[in-house]
Structure formats: C-alpha cells, structure tokens
Structure 1
Amino acid sequence: MTQKHLYQIIEDDLRHKILSGELKQGELIPSEMELVAQYKVSRFTVRQAINNLLVDGYIYRHKGRGTFVTFNKKEMEQEGTPYFSFTKEMKNIDSPVETTVLSFQNTKADELLASRLQLKPGDNLYYVERLRHSGGIPLVYERIYLPVNLFQNLNREIFKDSFYDYVQGELHWKIRNCVRSIEARALSKHVANLFKQKEGEPTLYMSSITYLDNGRAFVYTRCYFHGEHFRFRQNTLTRTNDKEI
C-alpha cells in the first residue's frame, strides 16, 4: 500500500472535520501558521493540503479575511443522457484533443466520495488528474475517481484518450445516464497556474456521476473549464401528449 504524503493526511483530516460538522459552514478555518503549529509540518505542506480542498470546493478564500468552509449551495441538476465527453465534443468541431495525465494513483474514499460512488468510506479508489488542451491551449482540468473493485487493470495510458470510449469499446459496458451539477467558482491557485490565469478569476465547474445500465455508479468527475474558451448551450425538448392538444 502506498504511504500517504503529509499534505494528504492534513487534507483528509480537514475534510473529515468539514463533513462531520466539526468545522461548520461559513466558519473561518485555522490560518496557515496555526495549521503548521498544529500538524508540525512546513508551510509548503499545509498549502498543498489547502489548495486541494480549495480545488474540490470544500473551502473558499475571501481576500483580506481568510479561508472559510463553503456553504452548501442550492443546485439545479440536469439528469439524463448523453454523458459529457470532452473528446467527442471537440471532435464535433474538428478540434484535436491532447491530454496530459498529471497524476494516477490509489487513494481511499472519504464520506463524500463514498456517497457519490455507492461505496463505504475507506474503500479503494483510483484517482486521476488530467489536463485537456487543444492547439496548445489548456481547456479542461479534471479530477476523476473510480472504484478499484470495478476496474482491476486500469493504467495511466488509458486516460490519455477518451475514458468513455474505453468503457464502451474495450469493456463493452453500457452507460445509462449521467447526473451533472454546474456552478460558477473562483480559480484556485493550482488550477489558475494550469490555465495560465490569475487566482480568483471565474471558472465553470461541473461535477458528474455516471452510471452503467445496471444502475451502478462507476465514475465521479470534477471538471474545471477555462472561462475564456467555454460556454454551455442546452437544447431542452418537451413531449406533448396528443390527447391534451
């Protein structure tokens, strides 16, 4: 088993305190120096943990005031098919896609990830970070979580292309639907650096859970879209009952 880095231990501990309610919504979290003293680590290690929690939306920064636990937001969710495939969407506009896999590792499900993927806290997950770009322009940053018990032979190379193509073409699984949540967020320092933008600039964030035809959740994804290059357009159709016309 891979030993966790110190920043991951701090990140997990703070996340647990947030999910358990020990750190309440809207509450100011301890400062970097307070966390350094509490965990007896370097400031750099604390910043790594804080940046990951910022990226995942557990906390947010308020300039001049500090870092706070995020409030639960009212969501407008769209349920249905098709799932969102960045590779497919870019092919539709004849734009080639390049993918850089930034991280591929094993991790454990916390309470939130377990609830998203129909697992128990502590179950094994694959964790993947990747940056999708086209023409040298970074467009989408993704954090992907998958149950190890569903995928026995995943490797880094698979994520250099469309993962949904792999699921349907190589594994011959049928995808039933995807549940997505879309909201505006401010760029964390980590994602801003990847997008070559300034920290705090607006971005479009989408989280999604995708299900197989047997109802099994098989992937949970968190995506950040470059705000200067993306917008979403939705065409919604309604069915009319002929008898009511």
Structure 2
Amino acid sequence: MATTPSFLPDISLALHAPELAAPARLTPAFSPLYQQIKVLILKSLQASEWKPGEPIPSEMELAARFRVSQGTVRKAIDELAAENLVIRRQGKGTFVATHSEQHVQYRFLRLMPDSGDISSEGPAERQIIECKRLRATADIARPLALRTGEAVLQLRRVLAFQGAPTIVEDVWLPGGPFKGLTTDRLASYSGPMYALFETEFGVHMVRAEEKIRAIAADAVSARLLDVPQGEPLLSVERIAYTYNDIPMELRRGLYRTDTHHYKNSLS
C-alpha cells in the first residue's frame, strides 16, 4: 500500500477553543496524495527540469522518486494531461506540452473560419506593426501583477488568413522575462509566438482567461483590418498564465467576424 512520502508536509487539523463548539466550521488542510505528487511535478516543470517538447520520466521512475505507487503517479499525470500541460504518446511516453506542435498551436485561438476547419486556411500571415518598451500604466500593470511604472514590452501585430487581414492584436509582456525581444526577432520567427517564448525566453503559457464583447471599428482598426469604420468587431481580452498562475501576457485583439466565428467547447 502506498504511503505518504516522508518529505511531504504532515496533514493535520488545528483546533481552536472557540471552534470546538461549532465543528461544522472545521476545514481540514488535506489534499489527496496524487494531488501532492501533481504539485511536485508542476514544480519541476516550472523549474525547467524538463523543457517543452521533452519527455518526462516514466511513471515507474517518478513513483520511485516520490516513493509512491505507479497508480498515484498515473492519476497525477492524467490530470496534467487533461490540463494540456503534458501530452501522452502511445508507446513513446509522456512529453511536456509545447506550442510548437501543430495541434497545440491554435489551442488559445477560438476564431474559426466559417468552413469550420482552421487548418484549411494554412498558417496565419503576420505583420508586426511595432514593438517597444514602455512603462506600464495602471490598467496594464494590474492584470500582469506588476506595479504601475514597471517596464513592459508592447507589440502590435496583424494576422491575415488567405490574404485577408482578420485579427489586430495589442500585446503587453512583463519587461524582465522578455528582455531582448525585438521587432526584427518577432518578424523573422516563422513559428507560433508562444513557441518563441518557450525556446528563447523559457516562458510556457499553460492557460488563459478571456473576456469578450462586441464593438464598432474605430479609424485605426478599420484601416488595419480593411473594413469600414463602424464595422462590428469582436473584442477579445486575454490574460495568459505560465505555471502557478503567474500572468505573463495581456492581449487585446479585435476580430473580424464576416468570414469567421468564435467557437468554444463547453463541458
């Protein structure tokens, strides 16, 4: 039978005199063993012990490392796979998820062509309008968990599909982790931007939150997207996080929806 590793925190319940009369209020500080193993694996991922695209140790090796059963490790990895942090490959093992893989590239992009198959459009054509360093205003600093005035990198780009400009995006990144990112580097990189962040800056985006609303195109967005001023657009604000829910990107995009639609799967 699997036992809790000696190095894991002791699970205990602290009682205080005022609470003894109201046991319904007591909440034990407990998490299942597989969840504790999941946290330890996440720490290794965050420390880049295994980099995006690389295999992680086998279930047997991890079980020996953490002194638990293979079943416990398997359950922890199952959750990591469900969260798209690792990818299982039949007969090959388990690998750290990477945005370089074709089926992961569009993980955070929910804008679909009306034909229903985003891969049929081919890779997006990207135009970098600008990339500059500046001081974060309060509305930019807050979602990035920065202080007002801290350095950020701001870039604007247009994504076109089959020659038609479809998305204009403003992106803000914390200045420290992305020191050295330039317009030329962004323009010359042919892969997905998140893959560039992984390989050159060691930042792996693992999840994102979005807010969506409808707006009318102003003069600037109308020119960049080649639509009439006042055209309905979909405004999407995204905050992307790396491991341990650390925000690493604020992105505000305007989407044309005359030939595309926003698609999300709910479960």
Q: Which TM-score bucket, shorter chain as reference?
A: 0.5 to 0.7
Task: Report the equivalent of 1:136.
Answer: 163
- The answer for unaligned runs of 5 or more in structure 2 is 1-82, 85-103
Select which of 192, 216, 219 maps to 2:249. 219
Q: Quick check: 209-218 or 87-96, which moved more? A: 87-96
Distance 1:126 1:172, change over 3 A: closer
Q: How far did 1:98 drift?
A: 1.1
Retained in 2: the 8 A contact 1:210–1:220?
A: yes
Task: Report the equivalent of 1:102.
Answer: 129
Retained in 1: the 8 A contact 2:112–2:261?
A: no
Give the whole-Å Cα distance in 1 for the aligned partners of 2:199 and 2:120.
Answer: 22
Aligned residue for 1:131, secondary structure, equals: strand
Give the whole-Å Cα distance in 2 for the aligned partners of 1:91 and 1:233.
Answer: 11
Matched to 1:182, the amino acid is I
- The answer for unaligned runs of 5 or more in structure 1 is 1-79, 238-245
Task: Report the equivalent of 2:76.
Answer: none
Q: How far did 1:172 drift?
A: 4.2
Select which of 220, 240, 250 maps to 1:190. 220
Q: How far did 1:91 drift?
A: 6.1
Give the whole-Å Cα distance in 2 for the aligned partners of 1:218 and 1:173.
Answer: 8
Retained in 2: the 8 A contact 1:158–1:166?
A: no
* Percent identity of paired positions between Structure 1 and Structure 2: 20
Retained in 1: the 8 A contact 2:235–2:253?
A: yes
Aligned residue for 1:121, secondary structure, equals: coil
Give the whole-Å Cα distance in 1 for the aligned partners of 2:111 and 2:222.
Answer: 22
**Alignment pair present for 1:200 and 2:227:** no
Matched to 2:149, the amino acid is G
Cα deviations across residues 104-153 of structure 1 (Å, max 9, x unaligned)? 11111111101010001111111101111122210100001011111112
Give the whole-Å Cα distance in 2 for the aligned partners of 1:195 and 1:173.
Answer: 30
- Alignment of structure 1 residues 164-183 onto 2, 5 Å: 164-183=194-213
Equivalent residues, number: 158
Retained in 2: the 8 A contact 1:105–1:126?
A: yes
Q: How far did 1:87 drift?
A: 11
Q: Quick check: 152-161 or 225-234, which moved more? A: 152-161
Give the whole-Å Cα distance in 2 for the aligned partners of 1:91 and 1:113.
Answer: 31
The TM-score normalised by the length of structure 2 is 0.54
Task: Report the equivalent of 1:84.
Answer: 108
Task: Report the equivalent of 1:148.
Answer: 175
Matched to 1:220, the amino acid is L
Task: Report the equivalent of 1:210.
Answer: 240
Give the whole-Å Cα distance in 1 for the aligned partners of 2:111 and 2:201.
Answer: 18
Q: How far did 1:184 drift?
A: 0.5
Q: How far did 1:211 drift?
A: 0.5
The TM-score normalised by the length of structure 1 is 0.58
Q: Quick check: 119-128 or 192-201, which moved more? A: 192-201
Aligned residue for 1:217, secondary structure, equals: strand
Task: Report the equivalent of 2:138.
Answer: 111
